Amino acid sequence: NLLPAVVRILKNPKLRLQELSFEFTLHPDEDDEKWTSKWTRIEKELRKSSTKLHVNHLTLEQLNPVDFRLFAPESLEEITFYIDENNVKKIKRVNEIVNPKQCKQLKMLNIRTNSCLCAFPANSFFGFPRFTIDFYGVYCMRKVVDCIKKLIKWTQWELCILVWSSLVEEPPNWEPTIEKLLQIGTSVPDRPNIRRYPIHGSTDFYEIDIEEERISIERKS
């Protein structure tokens, strides 16, 4: 039983971790509930101590509930989690998985999904000013432009990066999508792949940098 040793290590007040990943390997005779129970026991032991976990980058390989109160908010800079298409449809907002009130110093929220951008409910990223979504597997190219048009109407965030990591042998043709994206906003001299989109009620604007399989949208003044 390695749980006591794990708890002792995590309770060490001098412990500083660059990265911590919750990755549970299931044995043939164990199911998800048993693994969830083990993590619950670890959290229970950690709550007995006033020591907070100092972790810079936290990766959640599975969407098991995590008590973010156990982490030192001043240390937590980046969170990565994976969510499949079925689970995207079940959530209303990303903050059902990661509580923004307990992650106020977060510099980047990373999401890896095999779902489509359109599958995320409106205002999913409220409370997270900087986020990256890495799409892998099959994705719907036809709706990308419409989804980005909706995305840039949200005014609460500073930086959004969309990455498409194609796993198919023949990646889709990006030219039609890029052509449609270039019709959004106003052009920038000598920067053909850049578009600027005004933010309603503000003198700021979103700068959209369009590349093949990667789009970044950043708020600027």
Total-model pTM: 0.85
Band the pLDDT of 65: cuts 50, 70, 90.
Answer: low
Question: Side by side, which strands form the sheet with 54-60?
Answer: 16-22, 54-60, 78-83, 108-113, 130-136, 159-165, 214-220, 205-211, 191-198, 186-188
Band the pLDDT of 24: cuts 50, 70, 90.
Answer: low
CA separation for the pair 139, 119 (Å, rounded) = 11
CA separation for the pair 57, 217 (Å, rounded) = 23
13 or 64: which carries more pLDDT confidence? Answer: 13
* Average pLDDT score, the chain: 82
CA separation for the pair 50, 47 (Å, rounded) = 7
- Distances in Å between the alpha carbon of 107 and those of 91, 127, 130, 160, 209? 23, 12, 6, 12, 20
Per-residue pLDDT at 26 exceeds 60: no
For residue 46, what pLDDT is reported?
93
pLDDT one-digit tens code per residue, 183-210: 888 999 999 999 999 998 899 999 999 8
Band the pLDDT of 110: cuts 50, 70, 90.
Answer: very high
**SS3 letters for 1-14?**
CCHHHHHHHHHCCC
Q: Which residues, other chains included, contact 108 with Cβ-Cβ below 8 Å and sequence gap of 6+? A: 77, 78, 79, 130, 131, 132
Q: Which residues, other chains included, contact 136 with Cβ-Cβ below 8 Å and sequence gap of 6+? A: 112, 113, 114, 164, 165, 166, 167
Span 10-27, mean pLDDT? 82
- Distances in Å between the alpha carbon of 154 and those of 168, 217, 219? 32, 12, 11
pLDDT one-digit tens code per residue, 113-168: 888 777 777 677 888 899 999 887 666 666 778 888 888 887 778 999 988 876 65
Percent of the chain with pLDDT over 70: 83
